[in-house]
Amino acid sequence: MRRTVLIVDDAIFMRTMIADILKGADFEVVGEAASGAEAVEKYKELKPDLVTMDIVMPDMGGIDAVREIIKLDPEARILMCSAMGQQGLVVEAIQAGARDFVVKPFQPSRVLEAVQRLLG
Amino acid sequence: MSQQQKYAELFAAEAREHLAEMGRALVALEEEPGDRTSLDAIFRSTHTIKGMAAAMGYDVPTRLSHNIESVLDELRSGRRTVSADIIDLLLETVDILESAVEATVAGKTPVDPSAAIERLVLWRLADAGAAEPPLQADTVAQPAPAPEPRRTATPVSRRSDASRLRVDIRRLDALMNLMGELMILRGELKALADQLGAEPLDDAVERAGTLIGEMQAHVVESRMVPVWQIFDRFPRLVRDASRSTGKEVEFVVSGKQLELDRSLLDAIGDPLVHLLRNAVDHGIESPDERERAGKPRVGRIELGARRERSRVVITVRDDGRGIDRERVIEKARRDGLLAASEEATDQMLFRVMARPGFSTAAQITTLSGRGVGLDVVESSVRGLGGSVSFRSEPGIGTSFRLDLPLTLAILRALIVEVDGQVYAVPATFTRESFELDAKAVERAHGREWVRWRGERVPLTRLRTLFNGGEKSGSAREGVGFLSLVGLEFGESRLVISVDEFLGEEEIVIKPFDPPRGAVAVFSGAIVRPDGRPALVLDVGNLS
């Protein structure tokens, strides 16, 4: 069965790029969200196997969204997608319940590796 | 389209939005240095550009945005306060970032960013707080009172739900063109069905017609974007212009949510830049001059958009010195642009000032303080099927008013016949059509007038106009009833007489190059449902 993924990023560009990487590995992108608040709503609705989460977003950032999602579902598998220079925030996100992180710019192989590990 | 190209286009479109947002938010931050919302907005936009640029492997934009972000960190953490210097530096860097983004996307080599980056680093290293007074809100520009709330708290295009789609404008253009062809075909089908008189065919054509009409409404709708997409650039523009000229200006924008066809919006950007620059450069006086004239030191420029019936009205108003009418009139008379007996109305002055070349006379530009690029403004707005009008009072100010159709490609028009030929009058300007006893026409000041809506309004007989002043078919004159169309453009009114009304139609305007020497009263051509062409009247040029 194909695994489902929810992609969270405020840039359409980033969402498109991540979607392309994951689709290539036979994932089904069931939803996209442009803010933390939207991500929480979509998670409730879609219960995806995987969430990719940006950190800096308007209307609830990624870390708060991780906290909210983990509250709803402690088993949620969330992969943080951060830009360079955000190590501190990545640590905070992991403490909040995210499972792993990748740093932009993404290497498709690195993203897929992280995803496999996370779902494996 | 290759994957890489798809990403590059997405990147460019999104980066441009964020750059505009950064400019807007930086100016807002300057007006209100403690404004956390603006600071956060600038940070998020910078951060997004950085992430996207890094993903694309665009080195220069990545480094620039990374360094901007580091400066913003200092401000966000409260280690440094917002100063006029850092706003200036950030605005300059945003400009460099913008040029780097554009160059990179176009496959060119971007500028060397090292000097810009060095200045950002130096600012960070500089002794915090030393010789850097916190920015006062009143040093440059007064904050606008209560900015109009956006429909949603955040710009729709960028931050809203993922169910929105970004579509290349060329696809919408193609769709719109096809829609236009379909509208013409609908007319042809209807005419054919009428000829054949077969009821089932009539019904089918009728239903298809309704569907095509609905579809057209959706296509038009999908091209509408709120005017803030270009208005948001202007606070920065006004700020920069007022700084460089030593003026103090409060800039107020209203009606930002109003929606306009995308291509119209793109096309009015430059004319508005002209008008706003002129307002700062030539309209608003220096603070001292204003004080001497008993006016507040800070000048005021208003930019507004609103809907009036089937058109959009955009106004640019300043409370500056107004135009030196005497100078313009004198110059116009000397150049033979205005007859000695001719009354110089505001509209006439505008006509004169908007003549190509008129404005470049240095003497007029410096003395009258207006005219720069007005011909450009006029011709672009005219080209969009709109009109420009203007009003100026010495010492009180000047206002420009642009009347525009809601959308470019498809217009409602009144179809009329004159001397056996068919013409279209855009509904943007037609207020009503009516009939009047020919005896009610008055003569004064060497022309004809009629009473319309409680006012005496000039009458132009199209028959006379098209025949180069010859009164052909004069049998009708003074006898029977005249078929008239009352027109309004800006603050002017005009009544035209036609031979016959043929009804209202949706028309699709095709670009039109009038032959040299032709009467300059046509703005385009259309294809009628019967396949024959008709000319579109350029109403603004009729009076």
Best A7, A8, A12, A13 member to test B by mutation, with max B CBs in 10 Å, is: A13
Same domain for B239 and B105, yes or no, is: no
Same domain for B378 and B246, yes or no, is: yes
Same domain for B235 and B352, yes or no, is: yes
Contacts of residues A38-46 at CB distance under 8 Å and 24 or more positions apart, as own/partner, are A38/A8, A38/B161, A38/B162, A39/A6, A39/A8, A39/A65, A39/A69, A40/A65, A40/A68, A40/A69, A40/A72, A42/A6, A43/A6, A43/A69, A43/A72, A43/A73, A43/A76, A44/A72, A46/A4, A46/A6
B residues 156-185 closer than 8 Å to A (CB): 158-162, 166
Same domain for B525 and B511, yes or no, is: yes
Label residue B127 by pLDDT band (50, 70, 90). low
Total domains present in chain A: 1
Confirm whether B213 is domain-assigned: yes
Label residue B171 by pLDDT band (50, 70, 90). confident
Q: The CATH number of the domain where B244 resides is what?
A: 3.30.565.10
Same domain for B336 and B421, yes or no, is: no
Label residue B368 by pLDDT band (50, 70, 90). very low
Residue at token pair 């042809």: B188
DSSP state of A55: S
The verdict on B76 touching A (C-beta cutoff 8 Å) is no
Confirm whether A19 is domain-assigned: yes
- Find the CB nearest A83 among B6, B54, B153: B54
- Find the CB nearest B154 among A32, A33, A59: A59
Confirm whether A111 is domain-assigned: no
Window from A109-113, B171-175, B273-277, B472-476 with minimum mean pLDDT:
B472-476
The verdict on A11 touching B (C-beta cutoff 8 Å) is yes
The verdict on A68 touching B (C-beta cutoff 8 Å) is no
The verdict on A15 touching B (C-beta cutoff 8 Å) is yes
Residue B298 has pLDDT above 90, yes or no: yes
Residue B83 C-alpha, separation from nearest chain A C-alpha, in angstroms:
25
Confirm whether A118 is domain-assigned: no
User: Which distant-in-sequence residues (6+ apart) come within 8 Å of B403 by Cβ?
Assistant: B308, B311, B312, B313, B386, B387, B388, B389, B428, B429, B489, B490
A&B contacts, CB < 8 Å: 70
Confirm whether B482 is domain-assigned: yes
Confirm whether B303 is domain-assigned: yes
- Find the CB nearest A104 among B6, B54, B162: B54
- Find the CB nearest A17 among B44, B55, B153: B55
Total domains present in chain B: 4
What residues of chain B lie within 8 A of the CB of A38, using their CB? 161-162
Would you state the pLDDT for residue B508? Answer: 65
Same domain for B239 and B211, yes or no, is: no
Domain boundary among B405, B431, B459: B405
Confirm whether A115 is domain-assigned: no
**In which region does residue B203 sit, left (phi positive, over 0), alpha (psi from -120 to 50) or beta (all else)?**
alpha
State the average pLDDT over residues B32-41. 89
Best B10, B68, B101, B156 member to test A by mutation, with max A CBs in 10 Å, is: B10
Would you state the pLDDT for residue A32? Answer: 94
Number of H-type helices and E-type strands within chain B: 17, 18
State the average pLDDT over residues B488-492. 73
The verdict on A83 touching B (C-beta cutoff 8 Å) is yes
Would you state the pLDDT for residue A31? Answer: 94
Phi and psi angles of residue A63, each rounded to the nearest 5 degrees, phi first: -70, -45
Residue B454 C-alpha, separation from nearest chain A C-alpha, in angstroms:
55
Q: What is the dihedral of CA B439, B441, B446, B447, to 10 degrees?
A: -140
Residue type at B102? E
Confirm whether A114 is domain-assigned: no
Residue B257 C-alpha, separation from nearest chain A C-alpha, in angstroms:
21
Would you state the pLDDT for residue B342? Answer: 67
Residue B477 has pLDDT above 60, yes or no: no
Same domain for B42 and B57, yes or no, is: yes
| Alpha-carbon span B39 to B42, nearest angstrom | 5
Residue B379 C-alpha, separation from nearest chain A C-alpha, in angstroms:
37
- Find the CB nearest B55 among A10, A56, A105: A105
Q: Do A85 and B69 touch (CB under 8 A)?
A: yes
Confirm whether B493 is domain-assigned: yes
Same domain for B237 and B292, yes or no, is: yes
Greater pLDDT, B349 or B46: B46
Residue B497 C-alpha, separation from nearest chain A C-alpha, in angstroms:
54
Residue B150 has pLDDT above 60, yes or no: no
What are the pLDDT digits (tens) for B404-423?
887 665 667 888 998 888 88
- Exposure of A16 in the CB half-sphere (CA atoms within 13 A): 19
Residue A68 C-alpha, separation from nearest chain B C-alpha, in angstroms:
19
Same domain for B253 and B355, yes or no, is: yes
Same domain for B251 and B375, yes or no, is: yes
CA B286 to chain centre: 27
Q: Give the Cβ contact number of residue A21 at 10 Å.
A: 19
pTM (predicted TM-score)? 0.53
Contact A28, A5 (CB under 8 A): yes
How high does pLDDT run on average in chain B?
A: 79
A residues 86-115 closer than 8 Å to B (CB): 104-106
| Alpha-carbon span B431 to B6, nearest angstrom | 46
Residue B21 C-alpha, separation from nearest chain A C-alpha, in angstroms:
13
Would you state the pLDDT for residue B319? Answer: 93
The verdict on A57 touching B (C-beta cutoff 8 Å) is yes
Domain of A92, in residue numbers: 3-105
Domain of B298, in residue numbers: 226-405
Residue type at B401? R
Confirm whether A17 is domain-assigned: yes
Strand ranges, E, within B296-454: 299-308, 311-318, 387-393, 397-405, 410-418, 421-426, 430-437, 442-444, 447-452
Number of H-type helices and E-type strands within chain A: 5, 5
Domain boundary among B107, B133, B159: B133
Q: Do A38 and B161 touch (CB under 8 A)?
A: yes
Would you state the pLDDT for residue B162? Answer: 57
| Alpha-carbon span B274 to A96, nearest angstrom | 52
Label residue B151 by pLDDT band (50, 70, 90). very low
Confirm whether B152 is domain-assigned: no
Window from A41-55, B61-75, B89-103, B134-148 with minimum mean pLDDT:
B134-148
The verdict on A10 touching B (C-beta cutoff 8 Å) is yes
Would you state the pLDDT for residue B287? Answer: 93
Would you state the pLDDT for residue B472? Answer: 46
User: Which distant-in-sequence residues (6+ apart) come within 8 Å of B407 by Cβ?
Assistant: B220, B223, B224, B261, B264
Domain boundary among B405, B435, B462: B405
Same domain for B243 and B378, yes or no, is: yes
Concatenating the DSSP letter of every residue in B84-108 gives HHHHHHHHHHHHHHHHHHHHHHTTS
**In which region does residue B86 sit, left (phi positive, over 0), alpha (psi from -120 to 50) or beta (all else)?**
alpha
Q: Do A83 and B50 touch (CB under 8 A)?
A: yes
- Find the CB nearest A34 among B54, B66, B162: B162
Task: Tell me if ipTM is over 0.85.
Answer: no
Greater pLDDT, B112 or A53: A53
Q: Give the Cβ contact number of residue B143 at 10 Å.
A: 15
Q: The CATH number of the domain where A17 resides is what?
A: 3.40.50.2300
Residue at token pair 């530096």: B89
What residues of chain B lie within 8 A of the CB of A85, using their CB? 66, 69
Compute the Cα dihedral for B169, B104, A82, B41 and give only its sign: negative
Same domain for B392 and B419, yes or no, is: no
What residues of chain A lie within 8 A of the CB of B41, using their CB? 58
Contact B52, B15 (CB under 8 A): yes
